[in-house]
Structure formats: C-alpha cells, structure tokens
Amino acid sequence: MLENKIITKRETLEVSVADLLNFVRKYLFILLIVSACFGVIGILYSFLLPKMFTAQTILLPEYSMSGRSSFFSMAVTAERGGAEKLVPELYPNILRSTPFGQYLLQQPVIDASGKKYNNLREYFARDTTQSFVSRAMSIFKSKPAPAKSQPALPKSDILSISAEEQAKISRAMGLVTISVDDKNGIITIESEMTDPVVAAVIVESSKKYLIQYVEDYRTSRTSDQAAFLEERVRESRSRQDRAEYALQSYRDRNRNAFLNVARIEEQRLQAEYVLAQSIYSDLVVKLEQSKIKVKEEKPVFKILEPAKVPINKSSPKRLMIAIVFAVAGAILTMIYVIFFKEKLHEKLL
C-alpha cells in the first residue's frame, strides 16, 4: 500500500516536454521584458560609477650570476649557498608590506589637471571627488573612533602606527596590484584610479621600489663585504705609510752607522714595511674582486612596457554590468513565477 502511494506521488511529479514548452511560451515574453528592463537599469547605474583608468608596466628580470647568465632564475642553488631565496613569487609580498605603503605616501604626484602635490598623502587629503554611490554609502558608515595616543617604544625598529595612518597605508597599498607569470617570468604592475596621471605615477614609483628592493636584497651581502674591505684597505694603507715613514726616518738618522745592531733594526723595519705593503696590495685586489661580484649579482630588469598615462577607461564596463543586471532580473522573475505565481513548490510537497 505504501509503495503504491510512493508511485502515485512520483507520477504526479512527472513533467512532459509539452508542459515545459508551454511554460516557456507563457512566460518568455515577460522574462525578456524584465531582463531588458534590468539591463537598462544596469546601464543607468553604470553612469553613476566613477570612470577608472588602469596604468601598468611590464618587467622582465634577467640575472647574471658569477659569469653565468640565468634568465628569470632566482631559485635556490647549491653553488650560490642559498642566496637566491627571493623568488619572483614573493614579489607581491614586497608590494603589500607596510614600508612600501609608507614609501608610496611620501611620493610626489601630479594629477590630470596639472596640479602638483608634495606627496600622495596630500593628494588623498585633497581628493574629494566621490561618486554618488560612495557618498550615499558614507551616510551609513559609522564614524571612526578617536585616535589613541601611541606608547613610546624603546626600539626604533618597532613601528607604532595610528589607526588613521594605517588606513592611509592600506589605501596606498590597495592602489597597486602585481602579478608574476611563472611560465615566462613577466612581472606586471598595475594601478587603477580615477585619475590616469596619478595611476601612472603610482605604477612608476612601485616599479622603482621593487627594483631597488630586489637589488638591495641580492647585493646586500657582497656590498657589506665590499664596505668592510674598504675600511680594511684604509687601515692597511695607513699602516703601510707609517711603516714606510718609520723605515725612512731610521735610515736618515743612521745613514753612516756600521753597527750590527743598527742593521738588525733596519731589517726589522724593512720587514714591517714589506708586510704592510703586501697586506695592502692583497686587500686592494680583494676589494676590486668584491666590487666586481656586486656587479655580477646585481639583477637587471628589462622594461618591456614602460608606465604610461592610460587614454581609455578600464571601468565601469557598461555591457558587463547590463548583462549581470539582466541575468539577475531573469533569475528574480523565474523565482517569482515558480514560487508565487505558479506555486510549483506546493506541488512538490
């Protein structure tokens, strides 16, 4: 008896092709009209959105390592002792760091009208152009909490940033996006803003920061070694000069001396001078080798596409917005027809 009820229930749920065709014919016109209306609404909504311009630059890194050229190679190698750990996949993390945000806030910018700003922080303070939607949404946003005094920290390496300053840093970092193509090694840096000139300036500043950071990382060890050798060269040069002066002064004072004791002292001063001269010459050679090594390890970034002021807007994409609104309208219409007009959900229960 129970099986018969289940079979009867399943039979009532069967829908034929003819029923589907009749359903489509019945509501197709309404579906098209509503979708078209939503699409028009989407187009009208797109005019309320601010025009955005995307500036970009494309880089191609090339590294020369110890006389052996390696294209797009920063992987850890045994012969380099792990010096290549800053792989390109970590580049986005460099441009998402707090020092980078602080660096951007200090960069001077100029807008499309030719007005110059001392730094990006000043541009943020004077940039009051907001869209209608952003102004409307700002009404419902809560006011920021009052800034709290930051405690004095004993170490200068620890940053103490207020909430307002952190918001500016986050906003500056949010202006830049970076992507790395693992296949061919192309690095793309982009910035999308309402002002095309400011976007180009931000991209160029980001490129310089990234290149400088990578160069400093790659050459920091050899640069420190070169600086250490320069200090030792100066010390050895002073030692050589003192030894030479002591030797010549002794010879001048004992020009006509024939005592063996005088000869022993002269030989000692001569040996001291030769040793100082040898140490100085050896350090000079090592210093030159270290400078050459710095040049060898310094990465070279080829600029495939320089940063330029975009001419055409990148958003809003009105066609895409209209399609999204039309699809949303079609979905809402189907929900209304199924659950409210035809009430098919009641038949399924």
Provide mean pLDDT across the span 244-254.
83
Choose the weakest-confidence range: 18-22, 151-155, 235-239, 269-273: 151-155
pLDDT per position as a tens digit, 48-107: 888 899 999 999 887 544 444 444 444 434 344 444 556 778 888 999 999 999 999 999
Locate 86 and state its tokens.
């800053």
Backbone angles phi, psi at 180, to 5 degrees: -120, 125
Locate 16 and state its tokens.
């034929």
What pLDDT shows up at residue 62? 72
Q: For the chain, give the percent of residues with pLDDT over 70.
A: 73
CA distance 52 to 211: 27
How big is the CA angle at 121 (ends 118 and 123), to the nearest 5 degrees? Answer: 70
Q: In the predicted model, is pLDDT for residue 343 greater than 70?
A: no
Count the Cβ atoms, other than its own, within 10 Å of residue 107: 20
Tell me the pLDDT band of 134, cut-offs 50, 70 and 90. Answer: very low
More confident residue, 348 or 335: 335
CA distance 304 to 315: 24
What pLDDT shows up at residue 34? 87
What pLDDT shows up at residue 330? 87
Query: If you search the block for the tokens 């980001």, which residue do you land on?
Result: 206
Provide mean pLDDT across the span 15-21.
65
3-state SS string for the chain: CHHHHHHHHHHHHCCCHHHHHHHHHHHHHHHHHHHHHHHHHHHHHHCCCCCEEEEEEEEEEEEEECCEEEECCCCCCCCCCCCCCCCHHHHHHHCCCHHHHHHHHCCCEECCCCCEECCHHHHHHHCCCCCHHHHHHHHCCCCCCCCCCCCCCCCCCCCCCCHHHHHHHHHHHHCEEEEECCCCCCEEEEEEECCHHHHHHHHHHHHHHHHHHHHHHHHHHHHHHHHHHHHHHHHHHHHHHHHHHHHHHHHHHCCCCCCHHHHHHHHHHHHHHHHHHHHHHHHHHHHHHHHHHHHHHCCEEEEEECCCCCCCCCECCHHHHHHHHHHHHHHHHHHHHHHHHCCHHHHHC
pLDDT per position as a tens digit, 251-267: 877 776 566 666 787 78
Q: In the predicted model, is pLDDT for residue 10 greater than 80?
A: no
CA distance 326 to 318: 12
pLDDT per position as a tens digit, 215-233: 888 888 888 888 898 999 9
Bridge partners (DSSP) of residue 109 are: 117
